[in-house]
Copies of this chain bind each other. A is one copy, B any other.
Amino acid sequence: MRAASLMAPRHVVVQDVPDPVLLDATDAIVEVVASCVCGSDLWPYRGIHDTAPGQRLGHEFVGHVLAVGDAVSTLHVGQFVIAPFSWSDGTCPACRDGVTIGCENGGFWGQSGSDGGQGQLVRVPFADGTLVGLADEPDPALVPALLTLSDVMPTGHHAAVCADVQPGSTVVVVGDGAVGLCGVLAAHRLGAERIIALSRHAPRQAVARAFGATDIIAERGRDAVRAVRDLTDGLGAPHVLECVGSQESLETAIHCARRGGSVGFVGVPHLDDPKPIADLFGRSVGLRGGGAWVRSYIPELLLDVLAGRLDPSPVFDLELPLEDAAEAYAAMDERRAIKVLLRP
């Protein structure tokens, strides 16, 4: 099969690799219908995270079940499935708590020894615990929206849940990548009344508005905090979604929060200073987040996508064949695209 691999920083190739086979009775093989490039894929791409040459890429995909192991009981060959960005056994204490990201037997696609989502086929461990199967073949037009359920939409939802967004809430969203935009949409879906999105890029501002943002702030850092406070009686917002992970964005998020408020953080933290903890302490602001509990959230979000009530697909502003994966990465790296969908 063909699969995208990272040979060296900024050197993505699509090459022939061995077809995956069922290794365990709980495995499934999925034939990918669509995958995509994530902001977090840019960390290894940029050489910030070390990877072995030839490392497979991609952790978001939807497709059809091609084969199942003997122990797989909830899925059948030919079924359309959504893969969360990590696999999980569905039975360990963390999974039973819904914290599927913390599965004792979990792992991520693209890690050493596993397939990546940006390929034609993927071996899925713990298929029953991991994949969410649809009862019927979906309308092909829904594929982009369904693909967002692999990661970005549940991740935006996780940020909103961790920030305790409620009907009527005032919410700030820090970050205008696909996850931040999905955070806006998630807050809107949960009933937030006012959603202040931090974005300085016109195309992303447009998506944010379409997703429910009521206010756009183009400033960053301290200026953004000042602008948010100007919009919130000088107090800040009770609910803030941090969808970047940088030192500045986390500090911005905490200072945009009202005293006693909550920050939901889903941007993988890349920090060099512990100041945010002192800020949380000093402002009585709570912090909760981490990798999203994607597998737990998909069923609820899927109902809304299938019913036409939820459409995160505008986060994809470029679609390319898998063979052009290198261009997909370059487009995202250079911020020419918000998120690129790849078709094998």
A287 with B290: in contact, given A93-B235, A269-B274, A271-B278 (CB under 8 Å)?
Answer: no
Judge if A85 is at the interface, Cβ distance under 8 Å. Answer: no
Q: Tell me whether chain A's interface is mostly helix, strand or loop, or mixed.
A: mixed
Which bracket fits the contact residues of A?
35 or more
Q: Report the minimum CB–CB distance from A294 to chain B (whole Å).
A: 12
The distance in angstroms between the C-alpha atoms of A287 and B289, with both chains bound, is: 10
Check A144 for interface membership: any CB of B closer than 8 A: no
Q: A318: CB under 8 A from chain B?
A: no
Instruction: Assess A268 versus B290: contact at CB under 8 Å? Given A93-B233, A93-B235.
Output: no
In angstroms, how far is the closest chain B Cβ from the Cβ of A156? Answer: 16
Query: Per-position contact with B for A234-264: 1 when CB-CB < 8 Å, else 0?
Result: 0100000000000000100000001110100
The chain B residue with its CB closest to the CB of A103 is B259
Contact with B along A269-280 (1 / 0, CB 8 A): 101111011101
In the complex the two chains form, what is the Cα distance from A94 to B101 in whole Å? Answer: 35
Verify B101–A284 contact, CB threshold 8 A: yes
Tell whether, in the assembled complex, residue B260 and residue A98 are in contact, meaning their CB atoms are under 8 Å apart.
yes
User: 8 other contacts beyond A99-B284, A284-B290, with CB at 8 A cut-off?
Assistant: A93-B235, A274-B274, A280-B289, A280-B290, A284-B291, A285-B290, A286-B286, A287-B287
Q: List 15 A–B pairs whose Cβ atoms lie within 8 Å, in order of A's numbering.
A: A93-B235, A97-B258, A99-B259, A99-B260, A102-B283, A102-B284, A269-B278, A271-B278, A274-B277, A276-B277, A277-B277, A284-B289, A284-B290, A286-B287, A286-B288
